Structure 1
Amino acid sequence: MPLSTAPSTSTPESEELASFREDIRAFIKANADEDILEAGRKTTSFFPPFEQVMKWHRILGKRGWSAIRWPEEYGGTGWDVPRQLIFEEECRRAGVPMLLPQSISMVGPAIIHYGTDEQKQKHLPEILAGETFWAQGYSEPNAGSDLASLRCRAVRQDDHYVINGSKTWTTYAHHANRMFLLVRTGATGKPQQGISFFLIDDLTDPGIDIRPIIGLDGVPEQCDVFFTNVRVPLNCCLGEENDGWSVAKYLLEHERGGGTSFATTFRQEMATILKLAARTGDGFGGMLAEDPVFQSRFARLTLEVDTLEATEERFAAMEKGSPESGPMSSMIKITSMETVQRITELAIDVAGTPALPLQLMALTVSSGMTSVTDEDTLTMMPKYLNNRAASIFGGSNEIQRNIIAKTLLR
């Protein structure tokens, strides 16, 4: 039986859903220009090229499709889970970039759940339209997975707070005009107490210093951010002062398992690997796609993706913030990130030495620079290098296992 990347449990689609799929497909074809499609092809992590993905975000925003999982009353689509999955399947099939998660999938749901009417009216329409982009100010040099150890501090002074401290691994902070930020506002009780969740409106304050970090793939995706006597208004606090840990945990559920369908993305990666294996020799006169060892690894990964997809469908229908949703999001974080690491390892094994050259200009959208290899191979090594961190960012997988054990095994 030939290898396939199609879902093993797929069932015939109703006429209504098939028509919906055709509408999505037609919209993408009519609105995704070559720059957007090129950005999709040249995405090397979970964060696509910024300018083009925000362009696509704004296009979806005008159509009302930028936040497919938000409640309809706040600008969401009102689609059920099958329609959400169809939309993501067609976006991945067309090759458009995934929207950046920080605004739509992370701070947006937190504002909906914890925000005042003023905060919702101010921030949600801008997020939907793609007029703002939010960076995530969580990790610090000595507070990564141990986030409760953060030291960035905010002190009340009359009608404002003054922030001093730093954040690191802040993805795309050099592109952002907003930031959601965890700061310490109290010093008593457990480490989780005394933390507040701030919404920072303006990153052009002279007291904010943003320094990009060049990654192993040669791209400045992460940043260090330093705060020196930065003044922000008291109403920047989301939720209650000193109760930011509750907001942070709620947001992390969306980051770890509720923002997008990892399985849908992984299927496209698997399809690329299979296509490459079908045209790559095995060194013994045959093709890699026919090699039993390759087939075994590929089949095992296919089963992992099928299992992940079923888990994601359960999570999508689950109320976020419920006792079950926390450990479920941790389970998705563990399985999805370990699976993507195995997928990129297989990709490198199939591609071989053609994946080795670092081709920064060829990876730059609209550069006109062609790859010395084919375009499928161009992104494989950067993806492999970026995904070495997949089991660490968003809370390391060791931390996720602790969460599951404390919640379900006590």
Structure 2
Amino acid sequence: MVPVWLLTVTVTVATLLLTTLTQAQPEANFKCATEATCRSLTDYASANATTLKEIETLFGVKHFLDLLGANKLPTDTKNTYKLNASQVIKVPFPCKCGNGIGKSNNLPRYKIKPGDTLSEIATVRFAGLVKYQQIQTANNIPDANNITAGDTLWIPLPCSCDKVDDSSVLHYAHVVEAGNTIDIIAQKYGTTPQTLLSINGIDDPKTLQAGQVLDVPLPVCKSNVGNNSVDFPLLVPNGTYFYTANDCVKCKCDSTGSNNNSNSMLQCEESNIKPINHWSVCPSAKCSGNVLIGNTTSTDSCNRTFCDYAGYTSRNISTVLATQNTCAVAPSGSSGSGSGGSDSGASRSILNGWVWNKLLILIHFLLFFVYLL
């Protein structure tokens, strides 16, 4: 029979090893060239079974439909929707750029519970998306080992609002899965290995680690929303949808059949749901007569003219007649966004093979020690 003290030592050593390896991951700091605000996304995988409501609360998501749209879940999905342990979900949050770095705009806010440590909050509650040192710095905590239950912490998630190669993108804080490479990630999300290496400051792609938080620029559909609109820039990546104009308009990005989101227009239409905020009814969303947002007015062999969404203000919704080239061909060799939509339902291992090998060596050593006893 294995002595209790030996089991305790085994668990303690294994825990210390995992903590050390987790902390060894490079700190995620996404670069921002100019001061700006925008929407961003992050991966999240809870160590335990959870619900969309619990994730919504943890990250301070202000609009539940944003969470559904980011994962292309049906709009009638309830917040009691269950997620398995380690099931990946994309979480939207507001990003603010300043001093060359992008951080989540005053969200999430986490209330410290009795027994919490900064390390546990970073590695367990928020699944390693930030380091405890980043939380400490962001909240001006003098001593990382001295925090008070009941106090509220700002969790500075990494993000960016920069264009990439002069194209608008939505920056996605992606947690690298075991076995993935820069090439695999680039192909999956419609970018290039060179772009990923450049914006993440990676010199050698072989140094990529499972569990590392990577800045992945997701291509977005073209939009006619101007910079005078409340929702500018309207960044909707392929395989997702987004409710805007106080929920009066639903826009989706679907580049199916195209290998390049730059050839795809954002598809918007009236939502036909009750508006939020100060609007009791939705303003008119027509181009002229009975031509509503999303309606096609004319087509020919390669062009479609339609009524497009152009943004909103506190008083109205703007529209414009737009023409889309339906014969556009993606450049040769471009990578499709493939399954760049929802990862909801996919599970990932936070540890890479090297970590597991070290754990197995440790276990075998301890078992051999027990045998000698």
State the TM bucket, normalised to the shorter chain.
under 0.3
TM-score computed with the length of structure 2 as normaliser: 0.25
TM-score by length of 1: 0.23
Question: Computing the radius of gyration over CA atoms, which structure comes out larger, 1 or 2?
Answer: 2
Q: Which has the higher helix share?
A: 1
> Per residue, is there more strand in 1 or in 2?
2
